[in-house]
């Protein structure tokens, strides 16, 4: 899953975005690359509990990470900040 959407469909499998991981996603990391995306655009990486910190750190070092929400809240509007 790459672009943010209204939320996952009822039959959509949500797996962690970490390379080689097949675990169920628990977290949605919403991010934006300001060099190529408009300020309101959000891309989404999914993370299991094990990979939440490493994926967040990768995006955070680049100042891309905007917020992290539970997958169940993926359809909620992004928080400011």
Please tell me which residue, 78 or 74, carries the higher pLDDT value. Answer: 74
Q: What is the mean pLDDT of residues 27-52?
A: 96
Query: What pLDDT, on a 0 to 100 scale, did the predictor assign at position 78?
Result: 67
Asked whether residue 47 is assigned to any structural domain, the reply reads: yes
| Cα distance between residue 43 and residue 31, in whole Å | 5
Query: What pLDDT, on a 0 to 100 scale, did the predictor assign at position 2?
Result: 45
> Mean pLDDT across the chain, nearest whole number?
87
Asked whether residue 41 is assigned to any structural domain, the reply reads: yes
Residue 63 belongs to domain spanning? 27-73
Q: Taking the CA of residue 79 as centre, how many other CA atoms within 13 Å lie in the half-sphere pointing to its CB?
A: 11
What is the number of domains present in the chain? 1
């Amino acid at each position: 899953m790459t672009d943010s959407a209204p939320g996952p469909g009822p039959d959509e499998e949500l797996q962690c975005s970490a390379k080689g991981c097949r675990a169920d996603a628990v977290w949605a990391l919403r991010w934006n690359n300001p060099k190529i995306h408009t300020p309101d655009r959000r891309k989404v990486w999914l993370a299991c509990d094990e990979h939440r910190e490493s994926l967040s750190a990768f995006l955070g070092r680049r100042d891309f990470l905007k917020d992290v929400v539970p997958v169940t809240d993926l359809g909620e509007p992004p928080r400011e900040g």
